[in-house]
Structure 1
Amino acid sequence: MKRAYLDNAASTPIRNEVLKVIMNTLKYSLGNPSSVQHSYGREARSILEESRICIAKNIKASPSEIIFTSGGTEANNLVLRSSVLDLGVQHILTSQLEHTSVLQTILDLSIRYKISVDFISINKKGILDFNNMEENLKKNIYKKTLVSLMYANNEIGNLLEVDQVVFLCKKYNAYFHSDTIQGIGNLPINMEQLSCDFATASAHKFYGPKGIGFAFIRHYLLKKMKPFMTGGVQEYGIRSGTENIHGIAGLSEALRLSYCNFTNHIKKIKDLKSYCILELKKIIPNIIFNGLSSHPEKSTPSILNFLYPIKPDHLFYFHLDIMGVAVSKGSSCNRKNHKKSHVIQSITDEYLLKRTMPIRISFGIFNEKKDIDLLVNILQKIRK
């Protein structure tokens, strides 16, 4: 049976080149990178630091600003919790469109440490109201504030108007954390230009291994931060524990390859997205795309989200899978798959939610037009 994997925003297939690096590291790198008394440990340390340098080079950062984690969720937790516990943040400003690893962590911090939390207003396209953002920053001018906003939304693909956010954060002396997990490795992110204080990444979003990621933290803030995990001196004393050397080597190689042939890869994905939009419009004349996902400039090329006109059925995505297509309704980190996406609920009328099913298609470099053709054919069959 023909099959099409169109859920790359959840996790991308690993590249063969990356797999080779991982296997070689597992096989030949025997030492602990903290055991520098012998050559085996020093070799492992060399792989670790060379990977850190490579990653920093590709995002225009300093190697000392890269802290390895188990993935994006831990990286977001590290940034948010350390901001409150070590940097004196008393107020967090975010949006209802953020990933659950951000929203649930903020909720926990608000309960544990009485941190005040506000949400920036959004319209039905998921566009932030910057007047509302400024009003909130002005209202909380005497509180140390952290603004946490996603660079590229993982469900509807909206790209953040970063320049506007940075301007307001600097104007009101607020820290800026951007969840760049859908961005790094898939979009040309340059930390010298981005001007955020914190950013986060996960290797399996750009054709690397699962279970490894990193937090980018400006060096002047890193100096103020205490250990997030205790028991050792790894990762500049911020995150104790023996580093995942083969995962880090795989992450580094995946990121290098992503930016090595970036222009061709991004063009292919943009072409696939444009083709998919045209084909969907043929079978659903009045199709509703969620957020800005169909906009060629204001959304990430890899994500397309729309409402499929069919009676809601929590087995709908399972039926698609049985027929050969893997898509999703939104974030894979929400295990309660029978529930509607909090992002879609935030921007969609209840009337529509009761009559449609949201579908998130996410494209990758290994997809072809035939994958989209298969999806469209299956959607037609299901509707009939």
Structure 2
Amino acid sequence: MKTDLIPHYKDSPEGQDAEAILRSCVHCGFCNATCPTYQELNDERDGPRGRIYLIKQLLEGGEVTEKTRTHLDRCLTCRSCETTCPSGVQYGRLIDFGRAEVEKKLDRPLNQKLMRWALRQVLPYPKRFGPLLKAGQVLRPIMPEAIKAKMPPKRQANSPWPAERHDRVMLALAGCAQPSTTPNTNIATARVLDKLGITLVEESKAGCCGAVSYHLGAHDEGLDFMRRNIDAWWPAVEAGVEAIVMTASGCGAMVQDYGYALRHDAIYSEKAHKISALTKDISEILSAEDLTQLAINNTPGSTSSGKVAVHCPCTLQHAMKQSGVVEDILQRAGIELTKTKDAHLCCGSAGTYSILQPEMSQKLLSNKLEALTLGQPDRIVTSNVGCQLHLESKAKVPVQHWIELLDN
């Protein structure tokens, strides 16, 4: 794609990176075939190719309007287009850049600004999010139906974290929402790895991965979260930790991109690339291990019995490139999987998308649940806390993280 950037962007490292991505696009349109919003709206501007042109227009000094922002806001950043693209266009990085620039150029209505500010002030902070969630769960009976549906049920940690006793050590990210909403996910992961001779450790000083702020256009704020995590993890990295294990693929996709996000930071660039290289989803870790050491209980009534439908989050299959890995692990463990369809399409969770774009999010949720329940599963499993909470808000069967099936 030919470009003619204005000097403000042409002379900046970020603008040059964006131009390189633009130039890799041959505007073939294959991306639209796998874009969830294009499939629903049939509007060129609500597909990757159209959004690329909108960002190109911005970089070339064209007018940025409310319509520009609307079409960029509607993007899920699912990155399904990246998997489809024959030219390898790094669309996710371009849309993040474009959104951040639009935030600088176009003032939002007050209600939108307040909502986005509130999300950035609450979600990344477990000590704020946790108490607010508990209050909401208590008041759930008197809340409007729309809020009730999004309120996750109370869950308690049902097993102890195993003791540190192995030579092989890996780090885990506790995350923002996961400790309060699905506390058993990391515990189950630690217990499974313990059986495989691996000690899993959470670094208490590590916090939000930075995705909430970064994807909402607050790049400097997101980068600060990234730097804090690098500082928290670095002593363990220097001590030779084997990997940084992610149990929420949304966080995993972000941490694997630390090297790119901090590429122009003279102090953190090298460390960020090392952190990204060490970061792996738990499925990638287990796929390389001998799972015969796990005694899976598939007897009727156990937590691993019955038919299971697997939902592979967009961040796992399109960003982390681990499509089909969870299914392979579960089949190796003797768990019966059901047929699904349209696995490449987003469930509509997409971080804060389900809050900021509720109408489109609910359409995609209904489509995804229909696709997941084709084989009448007894449960649905996924790899990301946001997808888990979103799916269970309407699912008629239990929804959980797949790692819990291996912890019994």
- Please report the TM-score for the alignment, with normalisation by the length of structure 2: 0.28
- Please report the TM-score for the alignment, with normalisation by the length of structure 1: 0.29
Q: Could you say which structure has the higher strand fraction?
A: 1
Q: Could you say which structure has the higher helix fraction?
A: 2
